[in-house]
Structure 1
Amino acid sequence: MTTFRKGLATALGITMTALAVAACGGGGDSSSDIPAAAGPNEHIELTLATFTEFGYEALIPEYERLHPNIKITHRKTGQGGPYAQDMMTKLAAGSGLADVQAVEEGHLSDILSKSSKFYDLTQIGPADASPDRWLSWKYDAGKDKNGKLIGYGTDIGPDAMCYRKDLFAAAGLPTDPEAVKSIFATWDSYFAAGAQYVQKTGGKAWFDSAAQNFNAMVNQLPVGYLDKDDKLTVESNQGIKDAWAKVTDAVGKGESAKLTAFSNEWNSGFRQSAFATKVCPAWMLGVVKEQAGPDNAGKWAVTDAFPGGGGNWGGSYLTVPTQSKHPREAAALTAWLTAPEQQLKAFQAKGTFPSQVKALESPELLSQTDAYFGGAKIGELFVAQAKKVAKPQYKGPNDGQIQENVTAPALQAVEQGKSPADGWQQLVDGAKKLAR
């Protein structure tokens, strides 16, 4: 799943002067191509396009107070999928993007393939926005093949596992977050426990969606759907084949609730106890609380054990398109919004988990608990999970579309009765069409 946020951005149109700037400043990013910074008394307007909740509502007025000559127009919208499509359309048109444009991790590969249309932030950004500000894997994922940095990292989604303590107890399973770690040690142990759960409960589902688990498994692999030459790997990638076999085998044993993530039925499933476990990146805790509701407070728990070790699902970047008329000021705003101090404020406001090293070391973050999850030390837990993530998996063009528009429907077809072999062929055929 790539669109964990919800929004469609409408960015401010730009003048012919800005288009001329974009035309000469897109590829090389040499200092002579970059418009000069505005004077200290020159009043300018910057546009910022984001989707769903970045936690910037209080930060924008703060930045304007610190920079009286700058006015920021925030274009905030809903679903991440339509937002990404809108962004790609405006990239192709050469106009319409904001000075600072957010990009969700699941769509980053498409943006990196068009990196000439964005400024290199190492050339226009402030000196204190150095690589060591971020976790190395987060920083590196914002670079294109040639090492050009087009995005400063915002939040991350380190993976943990959520589960229903009451449903575990009813099935005779341990319920303490420490005691359940053996269940969540590997994907094999996870699915084996699921088969036992189904048997002991007379057929109740272990997890919500095959696609949700498969996505987490594929993200852990050294190579995903495409290699660094942008060649499709699906048919030759043993890791993907193994993940498919394990997930579809679990479906065949009745472990899946067969729900489509973020659908109305999936939302209702939290309230109706339709499944006992859930892949839980940091941002998912808010989803669980919202959908499960107050009646289920204390029934959900979260543990820092995750099958296969660490993983990341979600997070975003802030970019400066070459369409920007004020790229240096846009880069300064981007660097400020992604600084540790602001990331902690965004976390407090909306639960967006920081990607900056100093923020992750902050007592303010490490001491965070969540009463809904039984007082779990969520700050400490997700910091530990973030540090387990290895180097970023390369994601080529259309990687997100393969997952969202090909793999998820293929797995849903298996959940509805299609054979795993036929579902696999559906995945292969669909991926080939997108990878052309």
Structure 2
Amino acid sequence: MRHPKRRMLALPVGLTAALTLSACGGGSSADGDIELVVASFNEMGYEELLEEYEEANPGITVTHRKTGTAEAHHQNLFTKIGAGSGLADIEAVEEGYIAQAMEAAGRFNDLAEIGPEEVTADRWLDYKFEGGQTPDGKLIGYGTDIGPLAMCYRADLLEDAGLPSEPAEVGELFATWESYFEAGEEFIAANPESHWFDSGAQVFNAMHNQLEIGYYDTDSNLVVESNTAIKENWDTVVTAIEGGQSAGLEMGSPAWETSFGDDAFATKTCPPWMLGQIEGLAGEGKVWRVAEGFPDGGGNWGGSWLTVPTQSEHPEEAAELAAWLTAPEQQTRAFVASGPFPSQVEALESEELLSLTNEYFDVDTGALFAERAEAVGSAQFKGPRDGQIQTNVFMPAFASVEEGTADADQAWDAVVSGAENLAG
């Protein structure tokens, strides 16, 4: 739903204090200036923004610790939580790890208490704001980006296979998962040398995130085996794999990266940040487009929150910075710089975002993904090891079916036991 308009958060005035050196990431220099440390990962688009914040706030120095991968960043984060020291003043937490952070909610400040009063829930889409709250209502994270899903496709390959190739027509072809996989059957029949999608795990993840209940119920009980919707999605994707629709390529692998320059597969689940990767990997001569719509509604893949650990010596100043970084203006600029799509209502309605286009995909990027963001609905509850179950259990299980090292039943048994072992 859309929220009523509200004024933007202004830049905070300069903040100074005579404080002692922090035992964690930030601290105070001899002249009383405050140092804030921001720990993030991948590309969140903050480099120029942090420089601007320093210039606008004499007395504050911001140090940016950026880790290359989400996995490495969060391993470091939870190690330092366990040790009780070493955390930054602001720690980014990705959606696959937010539930694990919720388990340690006592180690994070309640931003509703220490943050600027004018920063309220109506800044964000409902599901994004809710994702940063603990079950008992403590707000441990200000939402940064989201990953509303669209479906990218090779228009030239679909046309060669006798299928519709214009975005509106393909949107109708992809109206449901049933019609999507049926189109895959037609594509493979016409082009047996290619495949319909890159990997079963990628498609399954999109389907899974549409479920009301995922790997855990709302009491954090593991329900991988008992949630029949999970098994139904598994069976659907495995059937498509056995029918030759999957290229069996692990996302991020060298083979996956080089495949975009070939004709290895025709469709790809696409959050906004995926478009830049595809363009960079596919290059000229490959006609990638974005369908108007997504199977069975909407979905989300990706997104983070900014938290302020209780270790911070400057929690209110850190909350001010986190609030500024997650304001609509700054998140729009971060999207333009690096691709993380804003989760803020006013950003999604801004002319700056809605006017953005992508020449390579020939699409009004801002308007399309703003519409896709509204289609997501409510947030799926994420349990303590949600992200790890997807990455360390389901991905290898689908790969074993694609590689022929296990049949569907063996792979499913491995899923159930693997999830139970991981969840403890």
Correspondent of 1:79 among 69, 73, 76: 69
Q: After the TM superposition, which residues 95-174 of structure 1 pair with which residues of structure 2 at under 5 Å, given as runs?
A: 95-174=85-164
TM-score w.r.t. the length of structure 1 is 0.90
Retained in 2: the 8 A contact 1:304–1:384?
no
Partner of 2:401: 414
How far is 1:235 from its partner? 1.2
Residue number in structure 2 paired with 1:273: 263
Structure 1: any 5+ residue segments left out of the alignment?
Answer: 1-14, 23-37
State the secondary structure of the residue aligned to 1:58.
helix
**C-alpha RMSD over aligned residues:** 1.8
Q: Distance in 1 between matches of 2:423 and 2:358?
A: 42
Percentage identity across aligned positions? 52
Matches within 5 A, 1:151-300: 151-296=141-286, 299-300=287-288
Aligned residue number for residue 402 of structure 1: 389
Q: Deviations over 1:258-313 (max 9, x none)?
A: 111110100011111210000001111111111112343xx000023111101000
**Contact residue 170 and residue 292 of structure 2 kept, 8 A:** no
In structure 2, the partner of 1:88 is 78
Q: What residue is the counterpart of 1:427 in the other structure?
A: 415
The match for 1:373 is 361
Given candidates 307, 331, 354, the residue that maps to 2:319 is 331
**1:109 CA drift (Å):** 1.2
Distance between the aligned counterparts of 2:277 and 2:99, measured in 1?
25
**Structure-2 separation of matches of 1:183 and 1:107:** 34
Could you list the per-position Cα deviations for residues 308-345 of structure 1 after superposition, in whole angstroms to 9, with x for gaps in the alignment? Answer: 10100001110000110100000000000000111111
Could you say which residue in structure 1 is the equivalent of 2:374? Answer: 387
Deviation at 1:203, TM superposition (A): 4.1
Measured in 2, the distance between the counterparts of 1:209 and 1:408 equals 9
CA displacement 1:202-240 (0-9 Å, x = unmatched): 242000000000111111000000111111111111110
The one-letter code of the counterpart of 1:326 is H
Aligned residue for 2:234, secondary structure, equals helix
Q: Matches of 2:232 and 2:282 in 1, distance apart?
A: 32
Aligned pair count? Answer: 402
Give the aligned partner of residue 56 of structure 2.
66
Letter in 1 for 2:54: E
TM-score, normalised to structure 2, is 0.92
Following superposition, the deviation at residue 390 of structure 1 comes to: 1.2
Aligned equivalents of 2:84, 2:393: Cα separation in 1: 29
User: 1:277 is paired with a residue of what secondary structure?
Assistant: strand
Q: CA deviation at 1:42?
A: 4.0
For residues 390 and 348 of structure 1, do their structure 2 counterparts lie closer, same or farther at Cα, with a shift above 3 Å needed? same
Q: Deviations 1:57-97 (Å, cap 9, x if unpaired)? A: 11111111111010000111201111111111000000111
